[in-house]
Amino acid sequence: MRQYLLGPSFLGQSRITLSGKESQYLTRVLRIKQDQSFAGIDNQGRIWDLKMDSIGRDSCTLSCSQAEQGKAKVATDTMPSYAGPFPRIFLYQCLCKGKKIEQIVRQATEIGVEEIVLVQSTYCVSDFSNKSEKTVSLRTERLESQIKEAIQQSGSPIATHLNERVLKLTEVPGHWNKKGLGLFFHQSEIPDQKSLYGLLKDLPMEEPIAILIGSEGGFSDEECTFLETSEFKPVLLKTNILRAESAAIYAISAIQVLLTEK
Amino acid sequence: MRQYLLGPSFLGQSRITLSGKESQYLTRVLRIKQDQSFAGIDNQGRIWDLKMDSIGRDSCTLSCSQAEQGKAKVATDTMPSYAGPFPRIFLYQCLCKGKKIEQIVRQATEIGVEEIVLVQSTYCVSDFSNKSEKTVSLRTERLESQIKEAIQQSGSPIATHLNERVLKLTEVPGHWNKKGLGLFFHQSEIPDQKSLYGLLKDLPMEEPIAILIGSEGGFSDEECTFLETSEFKPVLLKTNILRAESAAIYAISAIQVLLTEK
């Protein structure tokens, strides 16, 4: 663990008590001892210096102070790494089969995506619209725990957030609400299409970017037309036809690389 | 399947007979009928127009003619996609645990890596040096079949090749033999290190590039020093600390994107 992800119940208190699984994770799995200091991140992406104050049988208490200049005093893993800036990437990901979507969510979090929104499109093999509430909430729970683990392990300074509801593709432009550049990735070229480099070259680092990735079957012609009229720009990746889980990480990497390396 | 991968026994004959699994795959899984045409690629990356001449009980015969100008007449999946050029990437990948290495090999093939060489380094959790011959050959077989499936599904014009032997890290520079730019990716910055963009910006597309990716534990200080004295250049990815399987696809994508988009 490079940083401990403070849950939504943490609101900036100077002391918090954890119990059950959370306490066990810190004291038994990571074996954090009394008085040991370590780094934390809250779900707004703020960095905290944490100290283990006391360890009980099924609970523990931490003292928390916000890190100065956004840098933790003690990183659990002290290996230096890239400290930013990070482009602000919002991933709209069409549903794929179970394990694939978990892999996408986990890797997108590692790389530093700000928000992940799952989308139901025409060619989705996996359809959640008719699933029971329990199935849907179990899936959400699994994805949330993938995100949490990825933030803790990668030391990402971005507290990736999973949108609680699966959107229909037609709801995507409304949800995005033109906050910044909107892109959708597909395999065929549309006349007069700009290159990814062309779309990004004059973009400031702080401009939010939405990227919409299809399911295993890509997008239908109607969906492409709808997206273009909604000011989402088509992008052809200059590579082979990738499986959905490879396309997602390729596209996120491509945008991060083009913006951070330029 | 976008193209059928012709095995190593194919040497450019105008007719070949397939039997067993290969015949079953074409006739029963893909249900290719008599006289049906489809695209093929051989293990030198040459594209072939194939036609099903006859189907027997446990074998089938194909007629093969080399595609004109490297383009197959009939693509099984007719979706247009990027047709190249592709940078020539050679992946030296340190061993990771079972499923991870399969995912890396599969995704590297999809994206279009020319050769994959597995490497044993200090921090490899997975050690194959003391495994039985049978275990090693089973692993190779599994990876070969991942490569084959990925070439067929992605329609990659690059017949990715797996080096038959696992190298020690110290053997990597000799194996690469300065065929082109050599890079190794690690998480900490070395003084005066060039950016990936800086290393690639004046590189011609046809120049071979070796990329060496660490195992879960990265490289030791001794390994870094050894690699630098062997003219491998260190690269810091401008992202979070990624797991080995994410680092591999991120690095391959980054190089492909920087070279194809520039």
Asked whether A96 and A215 are in contact (CB, 8 A), the reply is yes
Of the candidates A82, A241, A250, the beta carbon closest to that of B236 is on A82
Range of weakest confidence among A28-32, B4-8, B98-102: A28-32
Distance CA B91, CA B218 (A): 15
A window 83-102, beta carbon within 8 A of B: 86
For tokens 């260190």, the residue is B234
DSSP annotation of B205 reads T
Inter-chain CB proximity A81 and B242 less than 8 Å? no
pLDDT at B59: 95
Per-residue pLDDT for B79 more than 90? Answer: no
Instruction: Please give the structure tokens belonging to residue A42.
Output: 């809250």
Give the pLDDT score at B1: 73
What pLDDT is attached to residue B77? 52
A188:B258 CB<8 A: no
Q: Is B156 on the interface with A (CB under 8 A)?
A: yes
Q: How far apart are CA B177 and CA B172, in angstroms?
A: 8
Residue A194 Cα distances to A78, A134, B33, B76, B137, angstroms: 42, 43, 41, 28, 46
Radius of gyration of chain A (CA): 20
Average pLDDT, chain A: 90
* Residue ranges of domains in chain A, CATH in brackets: 4-70 (2.40.240.20), 89-261 (3.40.1280.10)
Distance CA B73, CA A8 (A): 57
- What digits encode the pLDDT tens for the residues A61-109? 999 999 987 777 776 554 557 878 999 999 999 998 888 999 999 999 9
User: Percent of chain B having pLDDT more than 90?
Assistant: 66
Q: How far apart are CA A170 and CA A227, in angstroms?
A: 8
Q: Is B25 on the interface with A (CB under 8 A)?
A: no
| pLDDT grade for A44, boundaries at 50, 70 and 90 | confident
B75: confidence class by pLDDT, cuts 50, 70, 90: low
Is A165 near chain B, with CB under 8 Å? no
My answer on whether omega of the bond before B191 falls inside 30° of 0, hence cis, is no
Partner B contacted by A149 (CB < 8 A): no
pLDDT digits (tens, 9 = 90+) for B4-56: 999 888 999 999 999 998 898 899 878 889 999 999 999 888 889 999 999 99
Contact B253 A249 (CB under 8 A): yes
Region A158-179 average pLDDT = 96
Amino acid A61 reads: T
pLDDT tens digits for range B174-212: 999 999 999 999 877 777 788 999 999 999 999 999 999
Of B80, B110, B188, the CB nearest to A242: B110
Q: State pLDDT tens for residues A126-165.
A: 777 778 888 888 889 999 999 999 999 888 999 999 999 9
What are A191-220's pLDDT values in tens digits? 778 899 999 999 999 999 999 999 877 898
- B262 CB within 8 Å of a chain A CB: yes
